[in-house]
Amino acid sequence: MTATTSDILGIRRPDAAGGPAATDRVPAARLIRVEIRKLVDTRAGAWLLVLIAVVTAAAVIVSLFTTDASGLTFEHFVDVTVFPQSVLLPLLGIMAVTTEWTQRTTLVTHTLEPARRRVVAAKFAATAVLWFLAVVLAYAVAAVANILGAALRHGDGSWAYGTVGLRDTALLQLLSLVHGLAFGMLLMNTAAAIVLYFTAPGAVHLLFSTVGSLKGSAAWFDLGASQAPLTDHSIAGIGWLQLLTTTVLWLLLPLAAGMVRLLRREIK
Amino acid sequence: MILVDQLTKRYGRYTAVDSVSFSVRPGTVTGFLGPNGAGKSTTMRMLVGLTPPSSGSCTVLGVPYAHLRNPGRHVGVLLDASAQHPGRTGREVLSLGAMTIGLPRSRVDEMLDRVGLTADEAGRRVGNYSLGMRQRLGIAHALLGDPEVLILDEPANGLDPGGIHWMRGLLRRFADRGGSVLLSSHLLHEVEVIADELVIIGGGRIVAQGAKTEMLAGAGTIVRTPDVGVLAGALATTGLEHTTRSDGSLFVDASAEHIGRAAAAAGAVLTELRPAGGAGLEEMFLQLTAGAREEVPA
């Protein structure tokens, strides 16, 4: 300890030397850097990121050779990246908040930063950085594919792209990431969160698409149905309200419940 | 400096930690002793803010742990050496800690060196570590921020005799430089050599605490006699309880003079009569913790 403090008699107090009050808290930027590193420094985390990159590229390449030449536009290629990414980004969200519980490294994480809110905020920020990179990657791969499409297959090659496309793409990926975070927060267990993530929305979808009397209201409760107009860039009016409703039900409620659980639970 | 005051943790009707109070002063090593399930780990988790107490309070360096800014700079904590991601290397585990606390990368190598993990071992995944290596890594992690206080839960678990000897030296030097050490163990002899103060817990309650030297001095007498029946009768009539040890000698919680007089009056021949010392503490430890365990409601 280099910092020293003295009491009024000028006697150095060992406990006060560079004591708790003399130290700064761990800056948020540092917590976020640590959380990003935790996402990439294990085999599971690194492979997931590689998988996101590879699958994004693969989807675009497949589309490059299977879509009609007239349909080969920048916007088309961007849309092609949405589905594979929205399957994998939630896994990133789940793992970001569950791995530490499953491996019990929360013991270390929360003794180094006792403010649980700050740790969670850092985890969210860390996944947001990777979400941003995933979206950037989607656009970069789509741009390359569009050039190749025009050159190799005499594709349309149109670069026309509106803010609507950007908004819908970024929002869809963000929603799927937050969905993963929410289920991860709620269950705090990697396997359970992944299973529930892939089965629960499907079960609700099945319910609303088979029970006749429910069909009309599907878009208010079925996550996929409410997000469909976002996928084909046709969302408007009541569609936004339906999207908001399913987002509250499927994302924000589990997230809030998970947050309450985190703040109260015992860390063992 | 650690202060624990009337700390209590209840799980439903079960009381895991019951009104526990003790302190750890700078410059001392305090051994926190008790059998498995006595409440040691729960107490330590409450101390570092991971488990909310039902009642009571505890402070580290004068404030509740959760109020410490950058606690890694002040308190070194090792609660479970096995609670590490098996896929990370030892070096990576320390690097994450150093990054969080805000320490230069060189600190990681210093600590690896300090706990005797080679560059080769540090590069291996923790999943391939022996328990002893994990303990060394955990101690390195606790020491990263050059703390004033160490809180270590069963750090000697899995260490070989050489490792235990090394850890004793390390903790002694840490305390001699003014640090406060709280270390738990379920084995008396592990902490008996190193601890200045002992806190013995059983069934969630403190059953004995104090300076080790005083506890050793007042820890009864060992007596050996060929006339066990005669001596046992004499002791009973003077109101002294005894326990028979595995080697056939008796342990009595009384002074040698008391026992000698009782034996002389009854005409029992004594072949050995000495202060119990460490053996007495062990006897007390076993008795107290066994007694406390029976009191715990199922």
Residue with tokens 């006697």: A11
Per the CB < 8 Å rule, is A113 touching B100? yes
pLDDT band at B178 (very low <50, low <70, confident <90, very high): very high
Packing angle of the helix pair B131-143, B90-101 (nearest 10 deg): 20
User: What is the distance between the alpha carbons of residues A175 and A181, in angstroms, rounded to a whole number?
Assistant: 10
| pLDDT tens per residue, range A229-268 | 998 889 999 999 999 999 999 999 999 999 999 999 999 9
Say whether pLDDT at B159 is over 90. yes
Mean pLDDT, residues B187-194 taken together: 84
Q: Say yes or no to pLDDT of A6 above 70.
A: no
Please check whether residue A7 touches B, CB under 8 A. Answer: no
* Mutation target among B50, B126, B137, B146 for the A interface, most CBs of A within 10 A: B50
- Residue B251 identity (one-letter amino acid): F
CA distance B85 to B291: 39
Q: CA A172, CA A32: separation in Å to the nearest integer?
A: 23
| H/E element, B2 | strand B2-11
Is the CB of A41 inside 8 Å of chain B's CB atoms? yes
Residues of chain A positioned with their CB less than 8 A from the CB of B79: 107, 111
| Percent of chain B scoring above 70 in pLDDT | 94
Lowest-confidence region among A5-19, A115-129, B134-148, B261-275: A5-19
The pLDDT, as a whole number, for residue B278 is 65
> What residues of chain B lie within 8 A of the CB of A108, using their CB?
77, 83-84, 97, 141
Q: Do B70 and A99 touch (CB under 8 A)?
A: no
Cα–Cα nearest to A163, from A90, A67, A78, A72: A78
Q: What is the pTM of this model?
A: 0.86
Taking the C-alpha atoms of residue B148 and residue B62, their distance in angstroms, rounded to an integer, is: 12
Nearest to B97 among A1, A112, A264 (CB): A112
Q: Which residues of A touch B88 (CB under 8 A)?
A: 41-42
ipTM of predicted assembly, 2 dp: 0.86
A143 within 8 A of A157, measured Cβ to Cβ: no
Minimal C-alpha gap between B227 and chain A (Å): 53
- d(C-alpha A262, C-alpha B6), whole Å: 26
Averaged confidence pLDDT in chain B: 90
